[in-house]
Amino acid sequence: MTRLVLNGPVRPLKMARRSLSGRVALGTGGTAGYESSLERDWLMALDFDWRVTCLQEQPYTLNYSHEGRRRRYTPDVLATFADRGREWTVVYEVKPHEELRANWAEYRPRFKAAVSDCRSKGWRFRIVTEQVIRTPYVANIKFLRRYRDLPEQEMHKQALLYTMRALGDTTPQALLAATWAERERMMAAIPELWRLVAMRRIGVDLHVPLTMATTIWLP
């Protein structure tokens, strides 16, 4: 389960006129701040990842030297993952691809320093752009987050799972139709169906766009 490290970011979030600042609600009830829509969506993706055990925005400031001058660099996000008895930490910088290209000469020394610092700690440093974030996977996660924290509808849940055991691999549309004859009851059960997907009680390929015709299965 994702948790937010209790100490806050090492510097105040910028409130630039052209930026999009705010906070993402995390699955455990905490929040994490962002300064752009890319950062927001990446935080959502990390928060949804069941392997993430620790998530912190602007986790620390790195002091380094370049061209004889002391400089400072604060990465965007730190995430710690755990899976199958193994744990690892990744430090992320989130930037638009075009901004990276236009300012690479300026950014390269700070990223080089971050790579070296992370390597010394046994961590990884990764730059993510919209090429990673603006994908069906992250779009699906943003959609499913709306349902993740809804109250459980026990009767709908049991009916859906019972029918899925009989059907095997199916689709949301076919599952609803096989479970209820009345359209009103089908519509009422849709939030619980997507909540079950969000909670991984129903399996789905998150790398393709979610629709009512997407293949779903019992894990």
pLDDT at 210 over 90: yes
Q: Which of 119, 130, 212 is nearest to 170 (CA)?
A: 212
Q: What is the structure's pLDDT at 3? A: 38
Mean pLDDT along residues 52-81:
96
State what percent of residues in the chain have pLDDT above 90.
88
Instruction: Please write the tens of the pLDDT for every residue from 11-55.
Output: 555 544 346 889 999 887 789 999 999 999 999 999 999 999 999
DSSP of 165-214, one letter per residue?
Answer: HHH-SB-HHHHHHHH-SSHHHHHHHHHHHHHHHHTTSSEE-TTS---TTS
What does the pLDDT read at residue 29? 78
pLDDT at position 179 is: 98
Domain boundaries, the chain: 22-133, 136-217
Digit-coded pLDDT (tens) for 26-38: 887 789 999 999 9
pTM: 0.84
Segment among 25-29, 75-79, 103-107, 175-179 with least mean pLDDT: 25-29
Q: What is the 3-state secondary structure (H, E, C) of 75-110?
A: CCEEEEEEECCEEEEEEEEECCHHHHHHCHHHHHHH
| pLDDT tens digit sequence for 133-192 | 999 999 999 999 999 999 999 999 999 999 999 999 999 999 999 999 999 999 999 999
**pLDDT recorded at residue 10:** 58
Please, what is the average pLDDT of the chain? 92
In whole angstroms, how far apart are CA 57 and each of 9, 39, 166, 197, 216? 6, 9, 44, 27, 34
pLDDT at position 20: 81
pLDDT of residue 19: 61
* Interval 190-208 mean pLDDT: 97
State whether CATH 3.40.1350.10 applies to domain 22-133: yes
